[in-house]
Amino acid sequence: MDVKTFEAFSMKDAVKAVKKELGSEAVILSTREKAAPGGKGTIYELTAAAPGSRKVGASGPRAQTTSVDYEAGLDHIQARLSALVDVAATRTQVQAVEAGLQELKLLVTEALRNKEGSLIHDLPKAMLPLERQLRLMGISDVTVAELIRHLRALPAADDTDGEGYYRDQAIRWMMKRIKIAPRWSVMAGSVSYQAIIGASGVGKTSMAAKLAALYALREKHQVVVVSLDHQRLAAAEQMRIFCKIIGLPFVAANSVDDLLKIQELHKDVELVLIDTAGVSSKNSQAIAGLAALKEQGLPVDFHLCVSATAKESQVEQEIRSFLNLGISSLMFSKLDESWAFGEIFNASRKWSIPLSFFSIGQQIPEDIERSTRERVIERIFGL
Architecture of domain 3-53+67-85: 2-Layer Sandwich (3.30)
Mean pLDDT (whole number) for 324-347: 91
- Integer angstrom CA distances of residue 343 from 55, 120, 330, 377: 48, 22, 12, 12
Q: Kindly report, as residue ranges, where domains of CATH 3.40.50.300 are found in the chain.
A: 192-381
* Lowest mean pLDDT, pick from 6-20, 104-118, 263-277: 104-118
What does pLDDT average to over the chain?
Answer: 80
* Lowest mean pLDDT, pick from 33-37, 300-304, 350-354, 370-374: 33-37
DSSP β-bridge partners for residue 223? 271
Give 194 or 160, the one with higher predicted confidence: 194
Tell which residue, 33, 29, 41, 43, has the closest CA to residue 73.
Answer: 29
pLDDT at 121: 58
pLDDT at 62: 43
Q: Identity (one letter) of the amino acid at 204?
A: K
In DSSP notation, 239-293 reads HHHHHHHHT--EEE--SHHHHHHHHHH-TT--EEEEEEPP--TT-HHHHHHHHHH
Q: How confident is the model at residue 346 (pLDDT cuts 50, 70, 90)?
A: very high
Q: How much of the chain, in percent, has pLDDT values that exceed 90? A: 31
Q: How confident is the model at residue 147 (pLDDT cuts 50, 70, 90)?
A: very high
pLDDT at 225: 94
Torsion, Cα of 345, 309, 212, 363 (10° steps): -120
pLDDT surpassing 60 at residue 302:
yes
pLDDT at 63: 43
Tell which residue, 254, 260, 268, has the closest CA to residue 216.
Answer: 268
pLDDT for 36-92, tens place per residue?
776 667 788 878 777 654 443 444 444 454 555 556 666 666 666 666 665 565 555
pLDDT surpassing 90 at residue 169:
yes
Mean pLDDT (whole number) for 100-115: 55
pTM for the model stands at: 0.67
CATH tag for 192-381 (out of 3.40.50.300, 3.30.420.40, 3.40.30.10, 3.30.1950.10): 3.40.50.300
Q: Kindly report, as residue ranges, where domains of CATH 3.30.1660 are found in the chain.
A: 3-53+67-85
